[in-house]
Amino acid sequence: MNTLQRLMLSLMVAGLAAASLGCSSTSSCSLDEETVDVVDGWINEDRTIYSSVDPQKLPYLDGGELPDDVPGPAPSFTHFPANRILKFHVGLSGYPTTITPTLSFSPDGDSTVAPCAGNQCLIRKRSKDLIVLKNDTCSEFWVWLTASTSATPFHPVSDAGTDQSDGAAGAGGAPETP
């Protein structure tokens, strides 16, 4: 490699290094980082399941009006714009073994939700009291967060560890015979 090629290569490396000095994360957004505390949400009586949206109101997330017999405001997801950190104060009885952030492009779910992927919802911290998510993208979302201290939070389990759903099944999922 001659002197001119070495000089050109050195200048290119120096230029790339200088261009990357302002990057502190995977996000290339120019928005300042913002932290928001989320203190509302639903938690079951045993404090083993948390949901940022009341599960009884989930069917009404499509922007519709709540029926007269359903109390409280219409549910919505939590605003999650680019470079935002959300601190969900969950108040569980133990360490959350299952954390599920779900995204939408509208606050009411608009019938379309998807699981987080990549750096859309970085889980920065999880404890029985606090779950911290960061949107490390340049996109705006709304998030619904669920957390549980159980691996199967919404399925009753017997002492034997089998699912107690109506369609009884034996070992390996085969129907039981009388």
Domain span at residue 55?
27-154
- Of 125 and 2, the structure prediction assigns the larger pLDDT to 125
- Look up residue 46 and give its DSSP letter: T
Measured between alpha carbons, how far is 83 from 129 in angstroms, rounded to an integer?
Answer: 23
The CATH number assigned to the domain holding 103 equals 2.60.40.10
> Is the pLDDT assigned to residue 6 strictly greater than 80?
no
> Is the pLDDT assigned to residue 53 strictly greater than 70?
yes
Q: Could you tell me if residue 136 is inside a domain?
A: yes
For 65-99, write each residue's pLDDT tens digit.
667 777 777 678 899 999 999 999 999 999 999 99
Q: Could you tell me if residue 162 is inside a domain?
A: no
For 103-155, write each residue's pLDDT tens digit.
988 887 566 789 999 999 999 999 999 999 999 999 999 999 999 998 665 55
Contact 119, 136 (CB under 8 A): yes
**Averaged pLDDT score across all residues of the chain:** 77
Q: Is the pTM of this model over 0.85?
A: no
Q: What are the DSSP calls for 108-119, one per residue?
A: T-TT--EE--TT
Cα–Cα distances in Å, from 118 out to 41, 60, 79, 103, 136?
25, 29, 18, 12, 9
What's the pLDDT score for residue 10?
66
What's the pLDDT score for residue 159?
57
Number of domains in the chain: 1
Q: Could you tell me if residue 95 is inside a domain?
A: yes
Half-sphere exposure of 18 (CA within 13 A, CB side): 6
Q: Could you tell me if residue 11 is inside a domain?
A: no
What's the pLDDT score for residue 155?
56
Q: Could you tell me if residue 96 is inside a domain?
A: yes
